[in-house]
Amino acid sequence: MSDELKEIATELRRHLAWQESDGSRSILGERTAKTAAAAPVAKAPAPVAKAAAPVQQAKPAAPAIVKPPEAPIARRPLDEIRRELGDCQRCKLCNGRSTIVFGSGNPRAELVFVGEGPGEEEDRQGVPFVGKAGQLLTKMIEAMKFTRDDVYICNVVKCRPPNNRNPEPDEIEACEPFLKAQLASLQPKVIVALGKFATQTLLRDQTSITRLRGQWREYQGIPLMPTFHPAYLLRQPEEKRLAWLDLQEVMKRFGKKGQQ
């Protein structure tokens, strides 16, 4: 199965699990006695006045895909969350990593950047975004009139995927509670989600990053701006213009003005 199909299947499984726990399964068009009893009985269509007019069959409504409500997460200090992560063996990424890359920056940051996962250099140093993509991220942060010490930077997965491959759904699932705990601890004013994995994980939305970028969204009530990942921008420098538009939107939230 391709990565994309696997992602869709995982997301579908999550919806189903949640809907089943709620006693309803509208996604499959099945309903339990509980929801069936609560739902109003659909009326038969009114008789058609003119025999000559073609009868319009009402289309069955598309099953609503309801997003699982995100339970609020307890606010705990970052060092406590790091201790809980410990010498993590929760997924197979632990086999190839040298260092867990938890996150770095200001624990009181109002602006948080979330990336995908550590690369080779990050794995060596234990600090996020210190390789080539990291150097570009640092430039982006500075263009926004912040420094790396002002902001907080972390990743969806805390251990390097072998050969910098994409993180797999089970790895994301194992690490996601720690990212969520970090964000609950930081309670930033704005989150910038860098690339597909950060954006799709936090928003639980499988829409492509090309479509999501530049549009304000919310994660647990916190404004979130999806944008391109710096590693992608290194490969596609012509897209930097769009990323800069996204970052300028973020700057506006902080009352900062960027160069056009």
78-117 positions binding ligand URA, by CB under 6 A: 115-117
Report the residue from 103, 119, 161, 167 that binds ligand URA according to the rule CB under 6 A.
119
- Bridge partners of 114, per DSSP, are 154, 193
Whole-number minimum distance, CB 117 to ligand URA, in Å?
6
Count Cα neighbours of 191 within 13 Å in the Cβ-side half-sphere.
Answer: 29
Whole-number minimum distance, CB 131 to ligand URA, in Å?
6
**What is the C-alpha to C-alpha distance for residues 81 and 97, in angstroms, rounded to an integer?**
19
Token code pair at residue 205: 């939305």
Q: Which residues contact 141 (CB under 8 A, 6 or more apart)?
A: 113, 147, 148, 150, 151
Q: Does 128 bind ligand URA (CB under 6 A)?
A: yes
* Of 182, 170, 157, residue with least CA distance to 73: 182
**Among 4-12, 62-70, 128-136, 184-192, the segment contacting ligand URA (CB under 6 A):** 128-136
Whole-number minimum distance, CB 60 to ligand URA, in Å?
43
Q: Does 118 bind ligand URA (CB under 6 A)?
A: yes
- Kindly write down the DSSP assignment for every residue of 102-122, as one continuous string: --EE-TT-SEEEEES---HHH
Whole-number minimum distance, CB 158 to ligand URA, in Å?
10
Residues that bind ligand URA (CB under 6 A): 115-119, 122, 128-129, 131, 133-134, 155, 231
